[in-house]
């Protein structure tokens, strides 16, 4: 219980007259109030939970290709079939026929500088083409993509289990590109294209050699890798390290430094994103489906 004194600031004038004198009295009314106050109860503590809302990524996140388990070294999927061998034979025949016609034309004209230059141009363009194609299927599409879905899935599996490419038999490794070369190459193509087609078709074999140990490679292959004629093992190893967005070229690797230092693929990714809304896979953190498992399963 507490006593509160309160004064009303309302002056009340009372003028009293009597017979002897006149007095001016000012009465200030004072009131006393009793206020009963309940004891203060402690206020309940209010816990504020801050919810953090993660910003949604720009554009749709590309789906990672699901790979169930590592293939065994003796997996039938790594073996060559008669269909694989037939497509490889068809691709090699197409390239050789085109090359033979080019040589025949040169022999009649006695101009040898042109075919040598043509071979060099085809070789250089093949490396660039392998890089562009490798970048595209590494970053866009998935296993359900029409036509290229199987290769996209294979390249995703290759990032998780890179050793598989060294276990694939020759025709198994090259038949997909041989099929493309068979349809695209004809005897009417110009001289650089026969060299270009040959380098592209065998690029997967150069790729496989870049994953092999030096002791298991022929000496001539090791020499060509050391000279930079074929993509080296050390250079291609950088492609299999996070963030997996460099060293895409797999014929000679001669374009890798230029493409990476000038951020050519990053510029293309930005253009595709702003024009078409396509978000490359390299912008996302690699999932388990793309993280390398270095150990090879036992057979």
* Contact (Cβ atoms closer than 8 angstroms) between residue 161 and residue 293: yes
In this structure, what DSSP letter does residue 59 have? S
pLDDT for 220 equals 95
Break the chain into its structural domains and give their ranges: 2-35, 83-290
**Mean pLDDT of all residues in 274-287:** 84
Q: Which helix (H) or strand (E) holds 26?
A: strand 22-27
**Mean pLDDT of all residues in 156-184:** 85
- pLDDT tens-digit profile of 1-14? 444 444 444 444 33
pLDDT for 160 equals 78
* Contact (Cβ atoms closer than 8 angstroms) between residue 172 and residue 78: yes
pLDDT for 21 equals 43
Q: What is the largest CA-CA distance in the chain?
A: 157
- pLDDT tens-digit profile of 18-61? 444 444 444 444 444 444 444 555 554 544 444 444 444 445 54
**Mean pLDDT of all residues in 181-193:** 63
CA 159 – CA 245 distance, rounded (Å): 12
CA 20 – CA 31 distance, rounded (Å): 33
pTM above 0.95, yes or no: no
- pLDDT tens-digit profile of 62-83? 544 444 566 666 777 789 999 9
pLDDT for 112 equals 75
Q: How many residues does the chain have?
A: 299
CA 127 – CA 232 distance, rounded (Å): 13
**Picking from 38-47, 100-109, 171-180, 200-209, which range would have the lowest pLDDT averaged per residue?**
38-47
Q: Which position has the higher pLDDT, 295 or 232?
A: 232
pLDDT for 170 equals 93
pLDDT for 73 equals 62
pLDDT for 255 equals 96
Beta bridge partners of 2: 35
Asked if residue 124 has pLDDT above 80, the reply is: yes
pLDDT for 132 equals 95
Of the candidates 278, 243, 293, the one whose C-alpha atom is nearest the C-alpha of residue 63 is 278
**Confidence bin at 290 (pLDDT 50/70/90):** low
Q: Which position has the higher pLDDT, 139 or 64?
A: 139
CB neighbours of 221 closer than 8 A, spacing ≥ 6?
A: 209, 230
Task: Give the chain's radius of gyration (CA, Å).
Answer: 40
**Mean pLDDT of all residues in 120-146:** 91
CB hemisphere CA count around 34 (13 angstroms): 1
Rounded mean pLDDT of the chain?
75
Beta bridge partners of 12: 27
CA 278 – CA 285 distance, rounded (Å): 16
pLDDT for 187 equals 47
pLDDT for 7 equals 44
* Contact (Cβ atoms closer than 8 angstroms) between residue 196 and residue 122: yes
Cα–Cα distance list, 143 to 37, 157, 228 (Å): 76, 11, 33
Q: What number of other Cβ atoms are within 10 A of residue 155's Cβ?
A: 16
Cα–Cα distance list, 107 to 32, 84, 113, 191, 228 (Å): 128, 34, 12, 13, 30
Asked if residue 277 has pLDDT above 80, the reply is: yes
């Amino acid at each position: 219980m507490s006593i509160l004194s309160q004064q009303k600031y309302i002056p009340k004038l009372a003028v009293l007259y009597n017979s002897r004198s006149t007095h001016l009295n000012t009465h200030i009314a004072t009131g006393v109030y009793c206020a009963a106050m309940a004891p203060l109860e402690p206020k309940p503590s209010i816990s504020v939970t801050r919810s953090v809302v993660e910003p949604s990524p720009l554009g749709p996140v590309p789906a990672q290709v699901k790979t169930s388990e590592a293939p065994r070294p003796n997996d039938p999927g790594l073996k060559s079939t008669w269909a694989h061998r037939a497509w490889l034979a068809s691709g090699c025949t197409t390239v050789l026929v085109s090359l033979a016609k080019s040589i025949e034309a040169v022999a009649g004209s006695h101009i040898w500088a042109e075919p040598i230059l043509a071979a060099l141009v085809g070789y250089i363009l093949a490396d660039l083409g392998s890089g562009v194609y490798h970048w595209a299927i590494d970053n866009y599409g998935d296993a359900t993509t029409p036509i290229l879905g199987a290769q996209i899935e294979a390249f995703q599996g290759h990032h998780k289990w890179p050793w598989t490419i060294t276990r694939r038999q020759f025709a198994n490794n090259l038949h997909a590109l041989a099929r493309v070369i068979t349809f695209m190459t004809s005897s009417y193509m110009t001289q650089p294209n026969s060299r270009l087609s040959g380098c592209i078709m065998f690029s997967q074999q150069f790729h496989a050699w870049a994953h092999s140990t030096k002791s298991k490679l022929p000496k001539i292959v090791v020499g060509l890798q050391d000279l930079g004629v074929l993509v080296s093992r050390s250079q291609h190893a950088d492609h299999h390290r996070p963030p997996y967005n460099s060293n895409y070229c797999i014929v000679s690797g001669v374009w890798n430094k230029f493409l990476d230092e000038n951020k050519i693929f990053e510029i293309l990714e930005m253009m595709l994103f702003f024009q078409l809304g396509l978000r490359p896979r390299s912008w996302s953190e690699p999932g388990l489906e793309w993280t390398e498992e270095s150990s090879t399963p036992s057979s």
